[in-house]
Amino acid sequence: MSDHKPIGALEATVVPRFAGPGTFARIPSIESVPDYDIAVLGVPFDGGTSYRPGARFGPMGIRQASRHLRPRFHVELDTAPLEAVQVVDAGDVPCTPYSIDDAMGQIEGFAREVVGRRGRRIVTLGGDHTVALPMLRAARDEHGPIALIHFDAHLDTWDTYFKAPITHGTVFRRAFEEGLLVEDKSIHVGIRGPIYDQLDLTDDASFGFRVIRAGDLDVLGIDGAVDVVRQRVGDTPVYLSIDIDVLDPAFAPGTGTPEMGGFTSRELLHLLRRLDGLNLIGADVVETAPAYDHAEITCVAAATVAFDLITLMSKTDKGNPDRAAAVTT
């Protein structure tokens, strides 16, 4: 981080939130600041979708809904994130909608350019869950193998869909095979719904994942689930990937593969905010498909989650050794 004081979001008491720039929460664009710590990056790609397409419009929808945020101070996490670090909107990755392999290379290359130097981190706005794979590849080269905390209705560790090896349902199997993940340090949270075969669960366990199913939260409670996650990842660098369909369709109808029986919005926010202090080196919010949304319910949820991720990163700035921010456990 440079010596410049961070530039925050446009002041809502001066310019109403429905006006002004179209960046995430009206934060500065990447071109308007000399340096930055955290970049919000849109990845409008949904070529790996297996059911309802439309997540390519997710970044645009999330940014629009983020106008509703008041990002100056986060009450629950007791911090002013935009004063602690410089956060910018890096725009959208220009990637092809036709070739999954080409798009993965374009996304990874753009992410490397945005990171630029050691210590910068990215909050990705998807796009379908396929986009997590190139983000993990880019993060691994800086941090080595990473622990994954994966909030989702689905495991996303299947092998192929219609002979395609890289889709939104196969990304974490590929991540394991490529050595991107620390063995026995990753965990799925919120899993539910149907699977293709019992072998799906066996394979997932063989990749070193642990699972907290959505119904387990009724038994463990928020505190118990957070304890399991914390013990699982420890001090390992963590990538946090959030498929918005971890929420029940009542709270997030605008997604490609909805499954009933999911978390409430309050439960998800409580779980995320209790992860304060982890070594969070990257994150994404994916699978928001505005065409199926109603009254921006899903987009507001995704924007709120993205702001929480930015805030968690601002408090646990372990990636930048020059930062003096304390790490709260």
For residue 150, give the H/E element and its range: strand 147-151
Exposed e or buried b for every residue in 279-314, given b needs 16+ CB within 10 A? bbbbbbbbbbbbebbeebbbbbbbbbbbbbbbbbbb
For residue 136, give the H/E element and its range: helix 132-143
> For residue 127, is the peptide bond before it cis, meaning its omega torsion is within 30 degrees of 0?
yes
**What values do phi and psi take at 89, rounded to 5?**
-100, 120
Per-residue pLDDT at 122: 97
Q: Which residue positions in the chain have pLDDT lower than 50?
A: 318-329
Tell me the C-alpha distance between 289 and 168, whole Å: 14
| Residues contacting 83, CB < 8 A, separation 6+ | 6, 8, 72
Place of tokens 């998800």: 268
Per-residue pLDDT at 319: 40
Q: Which of 240, 250, 244, 246 is nearest to 263 (CA)?
A: 246
Instruction: Count CA atoms within 13 Å of residue 69 on its CB side.
Output: 33
Whether residue 186 contacts residue 149, with contact meaning beta carbons closer than 8 Å, is answered with yes
Q: Which of 148, 126, 137 is nearest to 49 (CA)?
A: 126
Place of tokens 């989702």: 152
190: tokens are: 């919120």
For residue 64, give the H/E element and its range: helix 58-65
Task: Give the tens place of pLDDT for each residue, 297-306.
Answer: 999 999 999 9
Phi-psi region of 72 (alpha: psi -120 to 50; beta: other; left: phi over 0): alpha
Per-residue pLDDT at 3: 60
Per-residue pLDDT at 2: 52
Tell me the C-alpha distance between 170 and 200, whole Å: 11
Per-residue pLDDT at 117: 73
Task: Give the tens place of pLDDT for each residue, 115-172.
Answer: 987 789 999 999 999 999 999 999 998 999 999 999 999 999 999 999 999 999 999 9
Q: Which of 174, 154, 196 is nearest to 286 (CA)?
A: 154
Q: Give the chain's radius of gyration (CA, Å).
A: 18
How far is CA 108 from each of CA 3, 41, 164, 168, rounded to the nearest angstrom? 29, 12, 19, 16
DSSP assignments along 206-243, one per residue: HTTEEEEETTHHHHHHHHHHHHHHHHHHTTS-EEEEEE
| Residues contacting 246, CB < 8 A, separation 6+ | 151, 152, 153, 189, 190, 214, 262, 263, 268
Structural domains in the chain plus CATH codes: 24-315 (3.40.800.10)
Per-residue pLDDT at 110: 96
